[in-house]
Amino acid sequence: MTQKKQYPGGVKLTLKKARAVAIQEFGTAKGLAKEEPAPFGYFTMEIGNLYVRIHPDTYGETGCIVVSAEMAHGTGQSLKFLDPETLQDNFDALEKRRREDDREALNDWVNSNGPEFCHKQIDRAWERG
């Protein structure tokens, strides 16, 4: 019995598919290259000051292709999750990531400030309505 090759995030993301995603999302694939030394299926490109990364979702393991964009000298990141077969938006995966990020931020807040302080802050906010 042969074993099926495992790809990062469960998605076989080839240069051809990454190029199709880049053209769909940004109108160009100019400068798209394999990210080194990242594992198979990670690609990057720069459009002016915009840094773009196209890769399988290895964080949330949604089975999607993730397109992230951020300014070279800015903060924040824009994420998009695409179905690997149709290249259509997967809003369920995006919502799942948002909930995971919110949970992580809340956990960090409680661990940094202590549960008593956080409980008081929540009570104050709840009472204000």
**Each residue of 82-122: pLDDT tens digit?**
999 999 999 999 999 899 999 999 999 999 999 999 999 99
| Residue 61 zone, left/alpha/beta (φ > 0; ψ -120 to 50; rest) | left
d(CA 56, CA 90): 13
Residue type, 56: P
What is the value of pTM for the model shown?
Answer: 0.80
